Amino acid sequence: MNGLGGLNKAPNGVVLGMVQLQLPTVETEIDLANQTRVIVDMVAKARRNMPTMDLVVFPEYALHGLSMDINPDIMCRLDGPEVSAFKKACVDNDIWGCFSIMELNPGGMPYNSGLIIDNAGELKLYYRKMHPWVPVEPWEPGDQGIPVIEGPKGSKIALIICHDGMFPEMARECAYKGAEIMIRTAGYTAPIRESWKFTNQSNAFCNLMVTANVCMCGTDGTFDSMGEGMIVNFDGSIIAHGTSGRPNEIITAEVRPDLVREARINWGVENNIYQFGHRGYVAVKGGAQDCPYTYMTDLAAGTYKLPWEDDVIHTDGTSCGFEEPTRTFGENAHKDAAE
């Protein structure tokens, strides 16, 4: 199945490379340009390291580090020089790449955005992180849902970012929209190590979906990221795991989207992604296809409220030094900027 980390690639295999990138410190435009070159050089290293590699994945915060700095001078645009450099690197090295940027958002807080670029330099996937790691992160919540694209070898790929993966609904949405491989990029530090592992595995098994996950690695003198490149098969078993915590190591594995498709069609017991919408199909024709989950109906109705909601202490970012927000989600952000 693994082909010795992708060295022996099967005809239907997709070889992934998860870069445990050294955690940078980026404070100025010069720092940003220098880190862009570091990432471009790592794309070339990935190609040299594994000629069979189809997709190289960089972690969240690969370009900006973990400072949570929202200085507009170091925020990126989709048409900016950083993204242009990433596109050129994919073309020059004939490889797909997954990248992280903190994206300028006029009239609002920046977006934490993820990109997948193909080997022709085309932007194939653009995703805005839906669940920032509050109260620590200041990013605007994503507003474009979760796209699923056709990647190498016809594989169906989705991308979520870090804390997104702690919500089982995110992985389920990826699978529901057809994803066979879900990428999860992160900047997580060591206290999250165990929950990182078991959510990567549960996200895979509960959805019959490969998950490919990687964090930043090493220290910037303040924060210590953990690496933990981790590729998990659709049955929840770990195919590859970067346990050394060595910065700039690339964790590789071959995955088989064709076997994901086979399992989703042929499995009986534990075909959870199908059975979720067809409860008890042995007893009733087609299974029950209702929605018995109160939290889902309440969320759809805009009335989501926990029994202990009024007692929750942290409901904004003031505990982490951010001002209390006054603008509601989607409220005139771009209109205010224009004025």
- Please identify every residue annotated as catalytic: 60, 129, 162
d(CA 34, CA 258): 40
Q: In this structure, what is the dihedral angle of CA atoms 86, 87, 91, 93, given to the nearest 10 degrees?
A: 10
283 phi/psi in degrees, rounded to 5: -85, -35
Half-sphere exposure of 95 (CA within 13 A, CB side): 27
For 2, 32, 69, 107, the CA distances from 29, given in Å and listed in that order, are 41, 5, 12, 21
d(CA 16, CA 5): 9
Place of tokens 């900047």: 187
d(CA 296, CA 138): 26
Peptide bond before residue 11 is cis, with ω within 30 degrees of 0: no
